[in-house]
Amino acid sequence: MQPVYAHDLVKRSEISRVLVIAAHPDDIDFGAASTIAALTASGVEVTYCLVTSGDAGGFELDHSPEAMIARREQEQRDAAKVVGVHDVRYLKHLDGYVEPNHALVSELVALMRQVQPDIVISQHPQRNWDRLQASHPDHIAVGEATVRAVYPAVENPFAYPDLGHLPAFRIGQLWMMGAPADLVNLCVDITDYVDMKLEALHQHNSQHPDPAAMDARVRSALESNHPDAGRAAEVFHVAAINDETTFAGF
């Protein structure tokens, strides 16, 4: 697959706002931090939404859930700043208990209508058997809830009547992180933004007991995504919802 550059995608699809939705702090940084850095460098306004605050994460045992929530929320805010993101929101669902129910879908629809993004980036709703760690149950649940929100709920004025004060809004595309390899259809060259991704990941110090090993593994994975030696890429499964390839949403 031929890699593309974020600035070309921004120009071609007229991307001005992006909403990124993930289950836990650091999910976004593992899945898309370099791409997001490239998008913000191209003038795109990016908002993060974390469905949980990661209260069940970490390798240290001597802390309370409340302390971990505060720590991980701050880590995510710090990581977001590294890649040019300053709007970080938390839905406060319990880590490990996320379900793609109407309560969560409604929250995501409300957020999408408020932010009005051209692109939503989220996690994949299908389990990736090649790398099961990408398919934490919370990731799958967030992916499924996001898909349900993106279409048809966010653009249906009759969906969730209690959100009637927020006008229905059409999303252009959905980009999904952690996709099974056979579904990947977008490869973004992020060679110039690898170091920013690693710096963002380093902000999540409650999660990484061996940062050097993490760096090596992340660099290797990014390089394996790119067909050319010495280059790096992040990959996504893109679904067109209402973009230049569709007609009236079809």
For the chain, domain boundaries: 6-240
DSSP codes joined into one string, 87-103: EEEEEEEPTT-----HH
Per DSSP, the three-state class of 33 is helix
Using alpha carbons, select from 48, 148, 40 the residue that is nearest to residue 88: 48
- Report pLDDT for 246: 83
Pairing of strands 186-189, 173-177: unpaired
6-240 — its CATH code?
3.40.50.10320
The per-residue pLDDT string of the chain (250 residues; one tens digit each, 9 = 90 and over) reads 899 999 999 999 999 999 999 999 999 999 999 999 999 999 999 999 999 999 887 666 567 888 889 999 999 999 999 999 999 999 999 999 999 999 999 999 999 999 999 999 999 999 988 888 778 999 999 999 999 999 999 999 999 999 999 999 999 999 999 999 999 999 999 999 999 999 999 999 988 888 999 999 999 999 999 999 999 999 999 999 998 888 765 6
- Report pLDDT for 65: 81
Q: Which residues contact residue 153 at a Cβ distance below 8 angstroms, ignoring those fewer than 6 apart?
A: 105, 106, 109, 159, 160
